[in-house]
Structure 1
Amino acid sequence: MLTVVRAVQVGQVLTEDDLGKASLALDPAVKAVGSDDLKSVVGKRAAVELKPGSLLSPSQVTKNNLVKAGEQLVPIGLDPEQIPATALVPGQKVKLVHVPAQGTAGTDKASDAAPQTLDGRVVKASGAAPGTGIVVVDVATAAADGPTAAAWEAAGTLQLVLAAPDGE
């Protein structure tokens, strides 16, 4: 079986130096990449963060870029109180919601209009930064939506909301 011998970040291309071999008997229910498949795995990308000492499974690698053609990657910094209790994982669908800053035009009166939203997909979420607890989430959006999401983020008017698995 193939094992992970050094940490590999999400989206990083796998090399032979990242992988090792282990001899062990596995239950047929366990899906792991056999050592004979080394050449077919090298050059693919990590679909999730790979930790040293773990077995490599087929679902942990992909031949695709994590940011697809027609998409842009937008980094979003979230304060500790904005982090959902549910772990953010690559591939998870999210909504980027524009929430106007308090005290700006349009926030003093009630509005029946739905807030502006953009669809996104989590590519990677960092660990909490020491001292601040801020988590940076890399979100892939449609290329046309990337600048808008970046502007909302820069203005501090962006909120990340987890979408249902079907995207609604």
Structure 2
Amino acid sequence: MSKTKERVSPASAHGIPPQGQVAGPVAPPRVSARRRRPGVIALSLALIAAGGAGVAVLVLQVGHRTQVVTVVREVQVGQVLTERDLGKASVALDPAVKAVRADDLDSVVGKRAAVELTPGSLLAPSQVTKDSLVRPGEQVVPIGLKPEQVPATSLVPGQKVRLVHVPAQDETDTGRSSADPPQTLAGRVVKASHAAPGTGVVVVDVATSADDGPMVAAWVSADTLRLVLDAPDGS
């Protein structure tokens, strides 16, 4: 019995239909439909809405800015404010922050600083006052202090001081013994100048009672007055 070899064409061996034969239709791959979860969709929509609201609030806050008065130069307590001491700035102001509006700048020029003002800060209405450091019934006496008599602590307006009478070596104070404490008077700094070039003398305007003013002036003239700083609380 003879064996017949089955011939297989190369095209059939590689899955290619032989000539004259038409390949059958190819079925598309099945794609399983994803189940939509209502909870996830609702959460996504909520996050989108919250993000949009946050952006809207941020835009409103950035867009709503207020023109306010700022401090551009250092101002000591009691010093009169000038236009050169102040500036203007546009800021997003918190309602809890009290600041002088830029439109009211002219109303604070000419007033005195109630506290020490530092550059870069906003000016608050409570930081200025129209009251003078010289009160009714007081006099201002200028006192020249030599370099060795000037305190290392800066003299600022409103600072309380004691005016001490130190008798000269050849001066005899009748009625007082060497054991008695020196005579002192209360005073308050109104203004202090910078040290004079060459001499270093600092002139301090001190307010004292009208009754003590002439005596203080006599001490200054006789060079028998010394200035002592009081404690911050005035005690």
The two structures have a TM-score, normalised by structure 2, of: 0.58
Counterpart of 2:25 in structure 1 is none
Q: For the Cα contact (< 8 Å) 1:75–1:139, is it kept in 2?
A: yes
1:8-59 Cα distance to aligned partner (Å, 9 max, x none): 89553x5667643222357899875332432542442345787887754545
Seen in structure 2, the aligned counterparts of structure 1 residues 4 and 100 have a Cα distance that, compared at 3 Å, is same
CA shift for structure 1 position 166: 3.2
Q: What amino acid maps onto 2:224 in structure 1?
A: T
Seen in structure 2, the aligned counterparts of structure 1 residues 148 and 92 have a Cα distance that, compared at 3 Å, is same
Query: In the alignment, does 2:216 pair up with 1:114?
Result: no
Seen in structure 2, the aligned counterparts of structure 1 residues 161 and 40 have a Cα distance that, compared at 3 Å, is same
SS of corresponding position for 1:23: strand
Q: For the Cα contact (< 8 Å) 1:11–1:48, is it kept in 2?
A: no
Which runs of no fewer than 5 residues in structure 1 stay unpaired? none
Q: Report matched runs for 1:6-155 at 5 Å.
A: 10-12=78-80, 14=81, 19-25=86-92, 32-47=99-114, 55-58=122-125, 60-106=127-173, 111-155=178-222
Return the index of the structure with the highest Cα Rg: 2
Seen in structure 2, the aligned counterparts of structure 1 residues 69 and 129 have a Cα distance that, compared at 3 Å, is same
- For 2:163 and 2:118, the matched residues in 1 are separated by 30
Using CA pairs under 8 Å that are at least 6 residues apart, name the structure with larger relative contact order, 1 or 2: 1
1:69-88 Cα distance to aligned partner (Å, 9 max, x none): 11111111111111111111
| Range 58-67 or range 95-104, more displaced | 58-67
- For 1:147 and 1:92, the matched residues in 2 are separated by 21
Q: For the Cα contact (< 8 Å) 2:79–2:157, is it kept in 1?
A: no
| Range 81-90 or range 19-28, more displaced | 19-28
Paired-residue identity, % = 73
Which runs of no fewer than 5 residues in structure 2 stay unpaired? 1-67
Seen in structure 2, the aligned counterparts of structure 1 residues 134 and 57 have a Cα distance that, compared at 3 Å, is farther
SS of corresponding position for 1:96: strand
Q: Considering only aligned residues, what root-mean-square deviation do their CA atoms show, in Å?
A: 3.4
Q: What amino acid maps onto 2:89 in structure 1?
A: A
- For 1:32 and 1:155, the matched residues in 2 are separated by 49
Q: What amino acid maps onto 1:104 in structure 2?
A: E
Q: What amino acid maps onto 1:35 in structure 2?
A: A
SS of corresponding position for 1:37: helix
- For 2:97 and 2:197, the matched residues in 1 are separated by 36
Seen in structure 2, the aligned counterparts of structure 1 residues 20 and 165 have a Cα distance that, compared at 3 Å, is closer
Q: For the Cα contact (< 8 Å) 1:44–1:62, is it kept in 2?
A: yes
